């Protein structure tokens, strides 16, 4: 199947999924987890086949800026669909589906230098897999933190908005946020450890700044978890710390890739 057909199919399915979630959010249709899951799985399948044609090349994988974004957005959708089977995270689809569609469009229309990693580089591929999983989990945590932030503010001002009426109770939202942060911290620690084991020279490979920002973000998330269990941090405070850690992590990954690939045009 052609790349363009797969891209259009994925965009169509993500658009349908977004529209249904928006209608549910506004109370126009009833939520149906079977239909939500079916549309998501179909979109995920088409998206995955597209990755097979754009990211995977003979003998290696292209982890350049836009290709990595397509892979990360696929994993975000995959994780969210899995969570949605047992957790009340349906509201996150309104942010995740458009994000996935945007990465597909950018991967098709924007171009930059390739950063190929050989299929035989098992250590590096394991580091990348853990890193991508950590970024995906923290991306979900960032969206969750934004929703929690506005939910807190509106509840404090007794504003019974659509957002407040559609989101789960505040305590549930907070629990979900910290579950995502915990999972992301574990993946990020493993990613940093595998990076230290399998990357020979961080400075020679222009990865020192990426490592620095990743460690700084890890420290922020660890501080958040410590504050949660020692000082009872929650609500707006938890949201702000989560978003700060996610911002540092995005600087580590997208900031370094943007500068190296799109400004200095350095491939790999």
Q: Quote the tokens at residue 155.
A: 């509840």
Residue 1 pLDDT > 50, yes or no? yes
Output the CA–CA distances (angstroms, integers) from residue 14 to 17, 20, 39, 158, 221, in the order listed. Answer: 5, 10, 8, 34, 31
The answer to whether residues 205 and 199 touch, using CB atoms and an 8 Å cutoff, is yes
Closest CA to 79 of 139, 3, 21: 139
Q: Which residues are bridge partners to 56 per DSSP?
A: 61
Measured CA distances, 224 to 13, 48, 89, 136, 233 (Å)? 37, 34, 22, 19, 8
CB atoms within 10 A of CB 111: 12
Specify the pLDDT at position 219: 96
What pLDDT score was predicted for residue 46?
Answer: 95
Q: pLDDT tens-digit profile of 172-227?
A: 889 999 999 999 999 999 999 988 887 776 555 566 778 888 899 999 999 999 99
Angle between helix axes 235-250 and 208-230 (nearest 10 degrees) is 170
pLDDT at 263 over 60: no
Q: What does the pLDDT read at residue 112?
A: 66
Cβ count near 171 (within 10 Å):
9
CA-only gyration radius of the chain, Å: 19
Domains of the chain: 1-119 (1.20.120), 121-267 (no CATH)
Question: What residues contact 20, with CB distance under 8 A and at least 6 apart?
Answer: 29, 35, 36, 39
The more confident residue out of 141 and 68 is 141
Using pLDDT thresholds of 50, 70 and 90, give the confidence band for residue 260: low
């Amino acid at each position: 199947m052609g790349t363009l057909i797969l891209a259009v199919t994925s965009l169509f399915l993500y658009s349908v999924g977004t529209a249904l979630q928006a209608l549910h959010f506004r109370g126009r249709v009833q939520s149906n987890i079977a239909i939500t899951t079916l549309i998501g799985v179909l979109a995920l399948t088409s998206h995955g086949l597209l990755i097979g044609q754009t990211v995977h090349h003979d003998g290696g994988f292209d982890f350049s800026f836009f290709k990595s974004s397509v892979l990360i957005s696929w994993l975000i959708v995959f994780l969210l669909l899995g969570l949605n089977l047992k957790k009340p995270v349906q509201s996150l689809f309104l942010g995740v589906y458009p994000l996935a569609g945007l990465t597909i469009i950018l991967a098709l229309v924007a171009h930059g230098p390739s950063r190929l990693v050989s299929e035989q580089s098992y250590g590096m591929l394991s580091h990348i897999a853990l890193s991508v999983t950590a970024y995906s989990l923290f991306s979900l945590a960032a969206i969750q933190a934004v929703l929690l932030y506005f939910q807190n503010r509106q509840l404090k001002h007794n504003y019974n908005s659509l957002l407040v009426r559609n989101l789960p109770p505040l305590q549930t939202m907070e629990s979900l946020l910290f579950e995502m942060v915990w999972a992301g911290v574990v993946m990020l620690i493993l990613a940093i450890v595998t990076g230290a084991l399998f990357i020979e020279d961080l400075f020679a490979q222009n990865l020192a700044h990426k490592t620095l920002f990743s460690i700084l973000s890890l420290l922020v998330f660890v501080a958040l978890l410590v504050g949660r269990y020692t000082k009872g941090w929650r609500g707006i405070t938890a949201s702000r710390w989560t978003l700060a850690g996610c911002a540092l992590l995005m600087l580590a990954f997208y900031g370094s890739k943007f500068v190296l690939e799109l400004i200095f045009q350095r491939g790999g």
